Each structure stands twice: as C-alpha cells, then as structure tokens.
Amino acid sequence: MSRKEDVFIPALKDKKIPLLTLDNTWHRLFTQTDPSPEILKLSEELNELLKKQGKLNNDTKDIKALKKRLMAEIVEQMDALNENPSKALEKKLNENKRLIEECNEKLEEFGDDIYDIPKQINDVNYKLMLATMEVCYEQIQDNNADIEEISEWVNEMRVELKKKVVIKQQKLKKNQNFYTYMHDIFGADVINIFDLKYGVEPLTEQETKEIGQDKKDEN
C-alpha cells in the first residue's frame, strides 16, 4: 500500500465502507463522470474476489453438508456391522471414511483462502474508494473553478447591464426632450409628418415610464 493510501488509514479507522461494486449509489456516481482506468481495474479485481469468496463459501457449505451426511452413514454402518458383519458393508464404511478424509483435506485447503480473501477484498475496496474520491474531488474542484469564473462573468455583466440601462434612460430622456421642444415649436401635425418621413415612432408608454423612474432615482 502506498504512502498516499496510508495517510487515510488512521482517520478511517472503524469507519464502515460498503463494498463499492455492490452499491447502486456508487454506480450512479459514474452517471456524472467517467470512471478512471484505475477504477475500472480495481472494480474488476474486486468483483473477481467477491465471486471467488462466494464460490468458496458455497463449496465449504456443500462439503460440510456432505461430511455431516457421511458421518451419519458411518454411524449407521457401524451399528449394522455389529449386528450383521459383511464385506460389502465394511467396504462401504471404509469408503465413507476415505471421503470424510478428503472433505477434511479440502476444508483445510480452504482455510487459508477463507481467512485471506476477506482481507484482500477490504484492501481492494479501500483502494477503490481512494480512486473514487480522487476522480470525484477532481471533478468538484474543476466545477468550482468554472463556477467561480462564471460568477465573476455574471458580476461583470451586471455592472455592464446597469451602465447600459443608465445610457438607455439618458437617451430616452433626450428623445423626449427633442419631441417636447419640437412639438412646442412646430406643433403636433407637422411633427407627425416628419415622423413618417424619418420612420421614427414616438416614445412608447413603457419608455416614458422608464424616464419617469429615472427621474425618481435622481431625486
């Protein structure tokens, strides 16, 4: 285990970490981002260990059940031999004893794996957790950098928007002054003719309200 992995061990002591490849929420993480090559490799390794553990547990259960059945048969066969000895029964008894020895040898072989595989699973699962954290936190940091950049842009646009609104109100106010003065000088009928000639429309009700709001803000 690398020193990078070692530093987390004291902090994570007694913390329950789920078996990640069996956790649906862990799989949903990767609808948000792609898994790294390391995550793919560790996931496959963890799944293989879990399959091996499952097979080992099933085989152990089956062998223990077989051994229990054979021992029950031996008891019956010994009782039968005491009452009615026969070569066939004795042969069957010896065969069952041999099979029990094979069961014991097989269970003894399984012993190391039964002890080692859970530790291997925990180690790989721990590495997979670290690789997952690395990918997720890299994405979070990248997103935070983008969020900060966008926030700065939004703030700059707000300032720019306020400036544009002020310029717009100033120009609307000037246009209103032009119309007011021209109406006073030439009259509405003459101004309407020139509005048509130059394709200019009078201020809308909304634009007039904006000018009024601008005057309130000035006061």
Kindly report, residue by residue over 145-201, the tens digit of the pLDDT.
Answer: 999 999 999 999 999 999 999 998 888 888 888 888 888 898 888 888 888 888 777
- The model's pLDDT over 115-156, given as tens digits with 9 standing for 90+, comes to 789 899 999 999 999 999 999 999 999 999 999 999 999 999
What is the torsional sign of CA 45, 48, 50, 56?
A: negative
- Mean pLDDT across the chain: 84
Nearest one of 61, 207, 64, 49 to 120, comparing CA atoms: 49
Least confident of 11-25, 47-61, 158-172, 198-212: 198-212
The CA radius of gyration of the chain, in Å to the nearest whole number, is 43
Determine the Cα–Cα distance for residues 190 and 185; give it in Å rounded to an integer.
10
Higher pLDDT, 206 or 56: 56
- Please calculate the CA angle 41-43-49 and round it to the nearest 5 degrees: 105
The fraction of the chain above a pLDDT of 70, given in percent, is 87
Tokens for 115, please give them.
């002890």
3: pLDDT confidence band, cut at 50, 70 and 90? very low
Q: How would residue 8 be classed by pLDDT, with cut points 50, 70 and 90? A: low
- Token pair 């929420």: residue: 25
Q: What is the pLDDT of residues 72-128, one digit of tens each?
A: 888 887 877 777 777 887 888 888 888 888 888 888 888 777 878 989 999 999 999
List strand residue ranges (DSSP E) for 24-117, in order: none
| C-alpha closest to that of 201 among 210, 191, 211, 209 | 191
Q: Is the pLDDT of residue 215 over 70?
A: no
